[in-house]
């Protein structure tokens, strides 16, 4: 179980002008305004998130989907249905995330260091959208099939339900220009937690499980390669958002009270049910190695991890039933970093690690 972390202070010695500026700047992270200066740096951890994200640069052109076309022809009708629904979700999922970044998070997280990272995250979401566009163009060569996939939020009930869940928990903050009251800040925290724990931390993790199930059977390697890189980005997005929550809880501990804890738990329960409805649509009566019951266990285990990260009691006590998900953070990621140093002018050092086992 994680505890809120205290924002660290710069290691360099500030000069007199920085001390004077610091005396004037005593705002909390969610106080209204638009801080412009990076010195003195109040939230250096957010700046480190930005620097680390730069090291992870990748492009859609590096993903080779040619072998996937042959694999698609090998799939059973049930598996083809699953893939069709999955890419339909991908078609709009990251657009919802991008809109919330621009309309809510960037507007209200009052830290230039954090806004640097959010700017980078918006770029990464754009790359994800491009990847999914390329994926649909490759997997669905028929124009009408592609059009139906892009209209999935309106036409496919299981995807529409997930979108409605997102809008329910996030839209109430969109029209707020300033977080003037305690109630406003609580609404923002719920938006941010929905964004991190439920959308990026549950809906996308569920989608990734389907992709890695195919990979474990030697299928759709192009999709798995791109998903590896998306997975890494999304894990960093989630970690940043949780650090923002930690910082707010440290600065304004009264915001995250028992009532907030109950709301967050109820939110995750609702997210699990929405994702299970999607699983029923994808899996039907069950596929070899993938069915609604096993997906329920997986989603409940993921939800418990998100609750534990927020310092809340776990809800389900389930364990991850998918052994192939335990390998997701080691396959191809090392090759990614080896290729970056020689192919691009982006310095890459160290290795990738994730907070989550799956």
Any idea where the domains of the chain sit in the sequence? Answer: 56-343
CA separation, residue 39 to residues 18, 34, 113 (Å): 7, 14, 10
Catalytic site residues? Answer: 132
**pLDDT (tens digit per residue) in 168-198:** 887 777 778 899 999 999 999 999 999 999 9
User: Which residues does 66 contact at the CB level (< 8 Å), separation at least 6?
Assistant: 222
**pLDDT of the residue at 100:** 81
Question: What DSSP state is assigned to residue 327?
Answer: G
Percent of the chain residues past pLDDT 70, beyond the cut: 84
CA separation, residue 200 to residues 24, 128, 204, 300 (Å): 37, 13, 5, 15
Q: What's the chain's Rg over C-alpha atoms?
A: 21
Which of 120, 103, 122, 96 lies closest to 46 in space, CA to CA?
120
**pLDDT of the residue at 327:** 59
**56-343 CATH fold:** Ribonucleotide Reductase, subunit A (1.10.620)
**pLDDT (tens digit per residue) in 305-348:** 999 999 999 999 999 999 888 755 544 433 333 444 333 334 33
Q: Report residue 286's pLDDT band, with 50, 70 and 90 as the boundaries.
A: confident
**pLDDT (tens digit per residue) in 45-99:** 999 999 999 998 999 999 999 999 999 999 999 999 999 999 999 888 777 888 8
Judge whether 188 and 195 are in contact, CB under 8 Å: no
pLDDT over 50 (residue 243): yes
- N-to-C CA span, the chain: 16
Q: Report residue 17's pLDDT band, with 50, 70 and 90 as the boundaries.
A: very low
């Amino acid at each position: 179980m994680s505890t809120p972390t205290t924002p660290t202070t710069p290691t360099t010695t500030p000069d007199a002008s920085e001390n004077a500026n610091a005396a004037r700047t005593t705002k909390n992270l969610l106080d209204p305004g638009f801080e412009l200066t990076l010195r003195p740096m109040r939230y250096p951890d957010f700046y480190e998130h930005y620097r680390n994200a730069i090291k992870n640069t990748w492009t859609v052109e590096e993903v080779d989907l040619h072998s996937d076309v042959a694999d698609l022809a090998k799939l059973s009708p049930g598996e083809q249905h699953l893939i069709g629904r999955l890419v339909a979700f991908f078609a709009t999922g990251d657009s919802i995330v991008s809109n919330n970044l621009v309309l809510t998070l960037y507007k209200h997280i009052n830290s230039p260091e954090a806004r640097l990272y959010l700017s980078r995250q918006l770029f990464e979401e754009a790359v994800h959208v491009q990847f999914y566009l390329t994926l649909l163009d490759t997997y669905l060569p028929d124009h009408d099939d592609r059009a139906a996939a892009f209209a999935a939020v309106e036409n496919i009930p299981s995807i529409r339900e997930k979108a409605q869940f997102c809008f329910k928990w996030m839209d109430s903050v969109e029209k707020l220009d300033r977080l003037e009251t305690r109630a406003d800040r609580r609404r923002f925290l719920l938006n941010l937690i929905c964004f991190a724990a439920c959308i990026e931390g549950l809906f996308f993790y569920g989608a990734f499980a389907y992709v890695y199930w195919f990979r474990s059977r030697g299928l759709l390697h192009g999709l798995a390669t791109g998903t590896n890189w998306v997975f890494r980005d999304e894990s960093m997005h989630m970690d940043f958002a949780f650090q923002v929550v930690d910082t707010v809880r440290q600065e304004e501990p009264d915001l995250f009270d028992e009532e907030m804890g109950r709301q967050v738990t109820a939110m995750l329960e609702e997210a699990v049910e929405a994702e299970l409805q999607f699983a029923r649509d994808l899996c039907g009566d069950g596929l070899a190695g993938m069915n609604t019951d096993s997906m329920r266990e997986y989603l409940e285990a993921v939800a418990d991890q998100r609750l534990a990260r927020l310092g809340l009691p776990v809800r389900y006590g389930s364990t991850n039933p998918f052994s192939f998900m335990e390998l997701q953070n080691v396959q191809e990621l090392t090759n990614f970093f080896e290729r970056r140093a020689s192919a691009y002018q982006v310095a890459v050092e160290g290795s990738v690690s994730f907070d989550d086992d799956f």
